[in-house]
Chain A
Amino acid sequence: MALNIVVCLKQIPNPDLQFQVAPDGLDIKRDGLNYKINGSDEYALEEAVRLKEKNGGRVVAITIGPKRAESMLREALAKGADEAVRVAYDDPAAFDVGKVARILAAAVKMIPHDLVLTGVQSDDYSNSATGGLVAGLLGLPHVSVVTKVQVQGATLEAWSELEGGLQRKYSVGLPALLSIQFGANIPRYAPLPAIMRAARVPIKEIAPAALGFASWEAVALPYTFAVRGLAPPGAQDHAEMISGSPEEQAKTLARLLREKGFVRR
């Protein structure tokens, strides 16, 4: 069965970087950060493209974020997405996942979809909430932490990873939403001609009015949200650090391991 697939992507600061809190304590310092596609979203995109290649259909890549996120959408086009959509909610921090999910749900609703894919979590805020929220808001059945998907007639079979490496196998009626786990596949590299082509594809931009909101501030929420403050995590229980040159560090570590009786000879 050919599938209309919407894959939700997020551009995040490279989490391997160092981060500092902004002077007002309400965000991180964002100048000079480099941004990339969220880790598990890469697997969600790859899964979307593979499902299309195998079963036919279309892949729409969608993101919510500032203009900079267009580079990620072009990467998605180069890797096989047929259309790219940016919801122009420009808050660079966007800490309120409930608000982002409500905007995303409104946008996904406007796009024909048999299947919605997200990554299992974004590595910047680690909520693992967007997929489930969007599914709940749209009334879609959903399965999280999916490592494998197969189309079976008008339904899907999805394997969901639990703690300890156990997997639960589900059959899911369509339309549905799945959150894709890290390592579900091996994401492809975009070939150069595809990158060149993707550079010329127009990216559809969605303003609040197109989703029926007077403004992004007017999105109805069942709560109010505020950042109280950000800080580096407390240095409580911090390790005893071994300093010195690599040789000195190695000597000290070897001595400690010996003293504690862990060395076999």
Chain B
Amino acid sequence: MGHDILILAEHLEGKLAPSTFELVAKGRELAAQSGGVLKAALLGHNAGSLAQGLAGYGLEVLLVDDPALAEYTDGGYEQTAVALLEGHAPRVLLVAHTAQGYDVAPGIAGLANLPLVTNAVDIRLEGDKLVATRRLLNEKIQGEFDIASDKTFVVTLRPGTVKPAEPAPGGAVNRVPASVDASKVRTKCLGLERPQVSDIDLASADVIVSAGRGIQKKENLRLIEELAKLLGGVVGASRPLTDMEWLPKTRQVGQSGKTVRPKLYVACGISGAMQHVAGMKDSGLIVAINTDSTAPIFEVAHIGVVANVLQLLPAVIKELKA
């Protein structure tokens, strides 16, 4: 087993995913702990300039360029990654915990029978062990777990938990001959579909008042709308509300919805699951209102109110109108 750290770059429509630069930062840390070198694997087609861009962060990029890798598929990525792991035997294969990352990383670990940790908020190497910090039970419990093995650890790192790396000198691109067996690719990408947009653009709003399950009934959205109006803002929502179609998908804040950075974000009855927090944690001022004082939203909020939004909001609206 070597000491190198290998990150799996993610890209879409000719751009590297922001999470890839976070992997570079965490990978550097791990390489320092293991005494090895940080490398990146980039799988794609006609991806030479992407690989050059990533090499600008001071690491060797192993580029596998093949028409069969033009779009992400589990079959194409997994067999290529497994072949790279056999050739390079890194200590850790680091992948972002994104929709693509948590599809491919467990697939690789299952296929090659390797130890796996997913959705880690932190990891470190201690001897033959990987120590992973994870969040459990709606972020209310934090756990540290020891996984000991002489095989490559496959790890997904939650986006937004480390600062992205800055460019650095000394990188290079090395083309690795592709070895994609098309008969093993039983998933075919038929294309990307974009949501139809005919609504306000949440991302351009200065003030967002968002509603979560805590508002209990669709009728109570009028409280959120009224507060938003008084603050010159627009109404957003957490995923459960757009799933129930109380608000259109375009209003959903979070990992699978919009990422927003308004000057003011008011979270009304939102517990703060990772999926939501990922989309709003960089807002200027975050005010959270929730009945549960242990709700994880209070960890990212600047101002917190433990209260029932249905009681508090009418009183706040009255105060603001006075």
Contact = CB atoms under 8 A, between A and B. Distances in A.
Interface of A: 13, 15-16, 18-19, 21, 28, 95, 97-98, 101, 105, 123-139, 141-145, 157, 159-173, 176, 179, 181-183, 221-234, 236-243, 246-247, 249-251, 253-258, 260, 262-265
B239 A249 contact: no
Interface string B170-193: 000000000000000011111111
Given A173-B186, A246-B315, A141 B74 contact: yes
Given A128-B118, A234-B142, A249-B305, A98 B109 contact: yes
Interface residues of B, dominant DSSP: mixed
B214 to A, nearest CB: 10
Interface string B278-322: 000000011110001010101111111111100110011011110
A129 B151 CA distance: 18
Contacts of A181: 256
Given A19-B141, A231-B143, A263-B231, 12 more contacts: A98-B109, A132-B102, A142-B107, A223-B148, A228-B146, A233-B296, A237-B300, A241-B304, A241-B306, A250-B316, A250-B319, A263-B230
B144 A28 contact: no
Interface string B141-170: 111111111010000000000000000000
27 contacts: A15-B138, A18-B294, A101-B106, A101-B110, A125-B134, A126-B119, A132-B105, A132-B110, A133-B107, A135-B74, A138-B110, A141-B75, A161-B99, A163-B255, A170-B73, A170-B188, A173-B186, A223-B148, A228-B145, A231-B143, A232-B140, A250-B319, A254-B316, A256-B303, A260-B285, A262-B232, A264-B229
B29 interface: no
Given A15-B138, A129-B116, A136 B231 contact: no
Given A176-B186, A237-B300, A145 B140 contact: no
Contact of B140 (A18, A176, A234, A255): A18
Interface residues of B, number: 103
A129 B97 CA distance: 10
A200 B205 CA distance: 56
B103 A250 contact: no
Interface stretch (B50-58, B215-223, B257-265): B257-265
A262 B207 contact: yes
B1 interface: no
Most buried by A among B110, B144, B320: B110
B299 A238 contact: yes
Nearest to B100: A162
A222 B1 CA distance: 14
Contacts of B259: 164
Nearest to B194: A166
B200 interface: no
Given A136-B109, A166-B193, A233-B135, A224 B299 contact: no
B21 interface: no
B319 A19 contact: no
A126 B117 CA distance: 11
